Amino acid sequence: MMKKIYISTIALLMFSGCAQNTPDAGGNIADANTLTSDTVTLDENNMFEDGSGMNYNSSSDGFASVYFDFDGYTIAPSMEKRMRHNATKAQSAGSRQVKLEGNCDEFGTDEYNYALGLKRAKAVKDALADQGVDTSNVVMVSFGESSPVCSETTDACYAQNRRVDLRLVR
Amino acid sequence: MRRLLLLLLTLWFTTNLLAVDATLKIEKDVEQRARIALVDGSAQHHEKFFDILLSDLKISGHFLADSQLYRGGFSDSFIDPKLKSRDYLLKYNLLSGNGTKLYIRLLRASDGTELYKKSYSIPNSAKIPFVAHKAISDINAYLKYPDISWINRYVVFTRYTAAKTSEIILADYTFTYQKPIIRGGLNLFPKWADADQRTLYYTSYKGTLPTLYKIDIYTGSKSRIISSEGMLVCSDVSRDYRKILLTMAPHGHADIYEMDLSTGSKKKVTNFNGIDVSGKYVDDERNIVFVSNRLGYANVFRKGVDTPGVAPVVYHGRNNNACDAHDNRVVYSSRESSSSFGRNTFNLYLTSSRGGDTRPLTTTGSNQFPRFSSDGSVVLYIKQSGRGSAIGYINLASSQSLLFPVSINKIQSIDW
C-alpha cells in the first residue's frame, strides 16, 4: 500500500513539473535569444591605442600603463610599443622624478601581492633603462591589490588591474 | 583484476579505519570536557552577550556548554533539577546603563555550592564582548584548565575602503566589537609591537616612500622606524620585542631583513632576485620561515638567520603564499584548485619548521590569512565561501572550531 502511494506521489510530481514548465520555457528562451550583450562605455581620456588589444590606460602625464599576465612580471612583446612611448616621455621629463606604481589583481594574499606589484614596477624600470633612460630619477612603489581601476568579476577587468602606472612625482 | 580488487579493498579499509579513529578522538574529547549551563539572572536578557559567552566556552575546548539559555535568579543557589546532571552552572547578571557591570557566580550543579564569584565594570558599553571574554577566561583559570587568555586580546586588521584607501581596525576575536584606529590614506600591515598590545607597527603610504611607524593605540603618539622604496612590511617581532623582521625592497625585489631596534642596524637575511616575503621566526629565532617564488611558484621555505642554506618546508601544492609560525610550528595556506580567475580552494595546513607532521586544518572554501594566537594554541583565519566571509578559529589541541560571519570589504592583513 505504502509503495503504491510513493509511486503515485513521484509520478504526480514528475507530471506536474512538466506541465508547468512547457508553456513558459519556449517563450522565455525565444525572448532571451533576442537580447544582446551590454554596450561598452569608452573614456577617451583613459585610452591608449597601440594595436595590442589592450587599449586602457590609468597612467597620467602622457605615460601609458603597462599590463601583465596573471602572476607574471615580465613585459610581454605586445607592450613594447607602450614601453618605447614611455621611454620617450621619461627622457623628456628632464630632472623631474618619474614614479612607477605596481599593481595586482585581487587574487593573492597581502605581502606576496605587494611584492608581485613591485616586481612589475622593477620590470618597467629595467625596460626604461634598456632604452637609454637615466633611471636615477625613477622611484618605484607597489600598491598591491589596493588600487584597482576595475571592480567587475571578468577576466578583462582583472587584466586591467595587473599593471604598472607611470606618472610624474608632484 | 585481482590486484585492482585488492587495491580497492585496501583503500576502503584504510579510509574507514581513519574515519573510526577520528570519531573515537571526538568521543574521548567530549568525555573530558566539563558540562556547563548558563543561567541568565539579568533583568533584561542580552542575546548577543549570551552568544559570546557560549562561543568563549566552546572555543576554549574545556567545556561542553548547553546551547539553550536558562533564566533564573542570580543570587539564590536553587538548581533546576533538570540541570543537576551538569558539572557547573554559570549564573550571570548583566547591568547596562551608565557603563556596563557584570556579576558572575560559578555553582556546582549537583548541590548548588558556590565555587567562584566575581564582578566586572567597564565605562564603555561597546566593549561588552571583552567583559564576556574576561569572565570565561577567569572561570577557566579558576578551574585550572590550560590558559585561554588569548580570547581577551585585540585582533587588529586592515580593510580596504576605496582605491588606495584603508582603515586599521581593532576588534575582539569574535569581531562583535570593532573600532577604526587609523583612518585616511593607505595604511597597511598592522603588527603588534609589545606583549600588552599597547603599541603596533604599520606601514603608511602617505609620502613618496612606504614608511613604517610605531603607534601607541592609547595616546596616538607615533614614531618613524624606517622607510624603503617599493614596499615595506613588518612581518614578525622577536619574543623580547627588540628585533623585527622586515620585508623591504631597496633594489626592486622584496627580501627579508632583520632590524635591531636598539641600534637601528639591519641585516639582510634572504638574498634572491625574485620574491621573498612574510618572514617569521622559528626554532628559538635561530631560523625563519618565509614565502618565496624561487622554485617558480609561491612556497614556504626555511633559512637560518645567520646561515646561508635555504630549504623548502612544504612539498605539495602549487601556490602556498601565506604562512605564520609559532615556536617550531608553521601554518600555511595552500591553493588546491587551478582556476587562474575566480574563487579557488585554499586550505590551511599545520606542519613543523622542518616540514614534518603535516596535517590539514580545513577542507572546504577559501581559507587564508592564518595567524597563530599568542600562545600558539589556536589558529585564526579568514574563510570565504558561497555563504560569505567569516573569521574562523581552530583550537589545535581540542580540534574545536568556530566561525563568525563578518561583513567587511576585503581584509588586507590581520594580526592578534
What are A77-88's pLDDT values in tens digits? 999 999 999 999
Set of chain B residues whose Cβ sits within 8 Å of the Cβ of A68: none
Which of A18-32, A52-66, B256-270: highest mean pLDDT? Answer: B256-270
Residue that is last in its domain, among B116, B149, B182: B149
Whether A23 has a pLDDT exceeding 60, the answer reads no
Q: What does the pLDDT read at residue B12?
A: 43
Cβ distance of A146 and B322 shorter than 8 Å? no
Query: Is B244 at the interface with chain A, CB within 8 A?
Result: no
CATH of the domain at B377: 2.120.10.30
What was the pLDDT predicted at B204? Answer: 96
Residue B29, pLDDT score? 52
B288 touches chain A (CB under 8 A): no
Q: Is residue B19 in some structural domain?
A: no
Q: Does residue B257 share a domain with residue B172?
A: yes
Chain A residues within an 8 Å CB radius of B333: 109
Domain assignment of residue B312, yes or no: yes
Tell me, yes or no, whether B76 lies in a domain: yes
- CATH code: domain of residue B61: 3.40.50.10070
Please report whether residue B160 resides in a domain.
yes
**Residue B3, domain member (yes or no):** no
Q: Is B141 found in the same domain as B176?
A: no
Q: How close A6 gets to chain B, by Cα (Å)?
A: 34
Look up the CATH number of the domain holding residue A146: 3.30.1330.60
Q: Find the domain containing A7 and state its range.
A: 1-35
Cβ contact A66:A48 at 8 Å: no
Grid cell locating A2: 505504502
Please give the pLDDT value at position B2.
Answer: 55
Q: Does B410 touch chain A (CB under 8 A)?
A: yes
Q: Quote the number of domains for chain B.
A: 2
Q: Tell whether B200 is within 8 A of chain A (Cβ).
A: no
**Residue-wise burial string across A37-72, b where 16 or more C-beta atoms lie within 10 A, e elsewhere:** eeeeeeeeeeebebeeebebbbbeeebbbbbbeebe
One domain for residues B214 and B291: yes
Is B91:B105 a contact under the CB 8 Å cutoff? yes
Helix B128-142 vs helix B47-60: crossing angle, to nearest 10: 40
B221 and B303 part of one domain: yes
* Nearest residue of B to residue A120, measured between CA atoms: B252
**Looking at the complex, does the CB of residue B299 fall below 8 Å from at least one CB of chain A?**
no
Indicate if B211 and B84 belong to the same structural domain: no
pLDDT score at B346: 87
Confidence of residue A21 (pLDDT cuts 50, 70, 90): very low
The residue range of the domain holding B320 is 153-415
Grid look-up 633559512 returns B303
Q: Model confidence at A37, in pLDDT bands (50, 70, 90)? A: low
**Per-residue pLDDT at A144:** 93
- Whether residue B223 sits in one domain with residue B102: no
Which of 208-227 (B) contact A at CB < 8 A? 208-210
β-pairing, B70-71 with B63-65? unpaired
* Minimal C-alpha gap between B176 and chain A (Å): 24
Q: State the nearest Cα–Cα gap between B230 and chain A, in angstroms.
A: 4
Asked whether residue B273 falls in the same domain as residue B370, the answer is yes
Reading chain B (416 residues) residue by residue, the pLDDT tens digits are 455 554 444 444 333 333 333 333 444 455 678 999 999 999 988 999 999 999 999 999 999 999 999 999 999 888 889 999 999 999 999 998 778 999 999 999 999 999 999 999 999 889 999 999 999 999 999 999 999 999 999 999 999 999 999 999 999 999 999 999 999 999 999 999 999 999 999 999 998 889 999 999 999 999 999 999 889 999 999 999 999 999 999 888 899 999 999 999 999 999 999 999 999 999 999 999 999 999 999 999 999 999 999 999 999 988 898 999 999 999 999 987 665 555 568 899 999 999 888 999 998 888 989 999 999 999 999 998 777 789 999 999 888 889 998 887 688 899 99
Which of B230, B340, B344 is facing A142, going by the closest CB pair? Answer: B230
pLDDT band at A7 (very low <50, low <70, confident <90, very high): low
Q: How confident is the model at residue A121 (pLDDT cuts 50, 70, 90)?
A: very high
- Residue whose C-alpha is closest to residue B284's, from B246, B329, B323, B248: B329
Using an 8 Å CB-CB cutoff, list chain B residues near A71. 340
pLDDT at A15 over 50: no
In-domain check, residue B4: no
What ipTM does the predicted assembly reach?
Answer: 0.82
The percentage of chain A sitting over the pLDDT mark of 70, rounded to a whole number, equals: 68
Nearest residue of B to residue A148, measured between CA atoms: B163
Is B165 within the bounds of a domain?
yes
Best mutation site among B212, B231, B389 for testing chain A: the one with the most A CBs within 10 Å? B231
A101, A155: one domain:
yes
Mean per-residue pLDDT over chain A, rounded: 79
As a whole number of angstroms, the distance between CA A58 and CA B310 comes to 39
Q: Is the pLDDT of residue A38 over 60?
A: yes
Residues with Cβ < 8 Å from B259, sequence gap 6 or more? Answer: B225, B226, B243, B244, B245, B246, B265, B266, B267
Residue B300 burial (CB count, 10 A): 29
Using CA atoms, how far apart are residues B303 and B383, in angstroms rounded to an integer?
29
Q: Are B211 and B327 found together in one domain?
A: yes
- Quote the number of domains for chain A: 2
Q: Are residues A100 and A26 in the same domain?
A: no
Provide the pLDDT confidence category of residue A13 given band limits of 50, 70 and 90. very low
Instruction: Among B105, B121, B149, identify where a domain stops.
Output: B149
List the single best residue of A114, A122, A125, A147 to mutate versus B (max B Cβ within 10 A): A114
State the pLDDT at residue A40. Answer: 56
Residues above pLDDT 90, as percent of chain A = 52
